[in-house]
Amino acid sequence: MKPLIKKHFELLEAIQSNYKLRNKELGALEKSIAACNQQIAIAPEVAQLFHQEFEELSQFAVEQPLPESAAALPAHTGYTQLAIIREKQGRLTEAICLCREAQEQGWAGDWEKRIARYQKQQARNAKG
């Protein structure tokens, strides 16, 4: 496994483990946010590496070509978790930006649905 992809998965583990402890351990939420930001920072390069891995594997799949869906990027925990955190903090514009960025990079997720929900919340907040 390439070092940057390994780092991506190590950060995923840090995000999840610290977020679970956010209400029990002082500083856990901040550690989770930091890991999200680190994972997001390397996301474009990791996406490129995932695509390269797919291309390399495709060269060996002569008898049975790999399905096109295998070329798609997986979900991105950093983007998803940080958008959730920003939503809970009422920082909806940031949450929307994160979702759009993830979507533009091609990471799997329910980005359109999240954006619509956050925009609806923004509209409600503006009214009242």
Q: Tens of pLDDT along 20-55?
A: 999 999 999 999 999 999 999 999 999 999 988 877
Specify the pTM: 0.87
Tens of pLDDT along 63-109? 665 455 445 799 999 999 999 999 999 999 999 999 999 999 999 99
**Could you tell me if 50 and 73 are in contact, meaning their C-beta atoms sit under 8 angstroms apart?**
yes
Tens of pLDDT along 99-122? 999 999 999 999 999 999 999 999
